Amino acid sequence: MPISFSRLRAVVLAALIGLSVAGCGYNTIPTLEENAKAKWADVQNQYQRRADLIPNLVATVQGYAKQEKDVLTSVIEARAKATSVKLDASQLTDPEKVKQFQDAQNQLSGALGRLIAVSEAYPDLKSNQNFLALQSQLEGTENRITVARRDYIAAVRDYNLSLRTFPTILWAKTLFAGNKPMADFAATEGSDKPPQVKF
């Protein structure tokens, strides 16, 4: 029994529609994954920039505030820990590894905050041009870290969403079945409470 032209046209049209829907989104998952990895590289770059500023900052403070050895030591130790915790793009799907990295960076941020607070007790240090330049660079770097983390979180959200929404979920369940959601940064515990200031 021969197939009628209208029936053949309906079959071809259905096949074309099926292919266009199935093809829709194939490149989305790898594109979003690479974008999130690139944003992670930006985060790491900014953290490295901060780590690179610390030795000069510590040396400058040390010249004026030798008696603040505990604070200086805590900054040096926090920097060593923060730079020793490595997290490459292949580990971004492991929330525990991301948390370890984030905890080490938060510890360094706290130590730097104490170091800057100590500087308030030393007027000569506060007026030192090298210290002021380093402090300004550090503040700028902290802002860059914030922006890089925000961009990474947005990229991870887009990637993770592509693994769970139509039509990309079709690819996520078949050709990209090994792709796992990436972990993003979580707020530091207690960051929802204002800091206590003691005089």
What pTM did the predictor assign? 0.79
For residue 121, the domain's CATH number is 1.20.1440.20
> Is residue 53 in a domain?
yes
User: What's the average model confidence in pLDDT over 92-96?
Assistant: 94
Q: What is the pLDDT of residues 47-66, one digit of tens each?
A: 999 999 999 999 988 888 87
> Is residue 1 in a domain?
no
Rounded to an integer, what distance in angstroms lies between the CA atom of residue 147 and that of residue 149?
5
Question: Given a cut of 90, is residue 12 above it in pLDDT?
Answer: no
Q: What is the DSSP string of 85-153?
A: ----GGGTT-HHHHHHHHHHHHHHHHHHHHHHHHHTT-HHHHT-HHHHHHHHHHHHHHHHHHHHHHHHH
Average pLDDT, the chain: 86
> Is residue 30 in a domain?
no
* Cα–Cα separations (whole angstroms), residue 156 to 11, 43, 194: 40, 13, 28
Question: Given a cut of 50, is residue 71 above it in pLDDT?
Answer: yes
Contact 54, 79 (CB under 8 A): yes
User: What's the average model confidence in pLDDT over 146-166?
Assistant: 95
> Is residue 154 in a domain?
no
Owner of token pair 């049209």: 13
Confidence band for 30, pLDDT divided at 50, 70 and 90: very high
> Is residue 18 in a domain?
no
Least confident of 33-37, 83-87, 152-156, 193-197: 193-197
Residue 19's pLDDT is 61
Question: Given a cut of 90, is residue 109 above it in pLDDT?
Answer: yes
> Is residue 168 in a domain?
no
> Is residue 31 in a domain?
no
Rounded to an integer, what distance in angstroms lies between the CA atom of residue 111 and that of residue 49?
16
Domain coverage including residue 127? 46-148
> Is residue 193 in a domain?
no
Q: How many domains does the chain have?
A: 1
**Residues 6 or more apart in contact with residue 183 via CB below 8 angstroms:** 92, 93, 94, 95, 97, 98, 99, 156
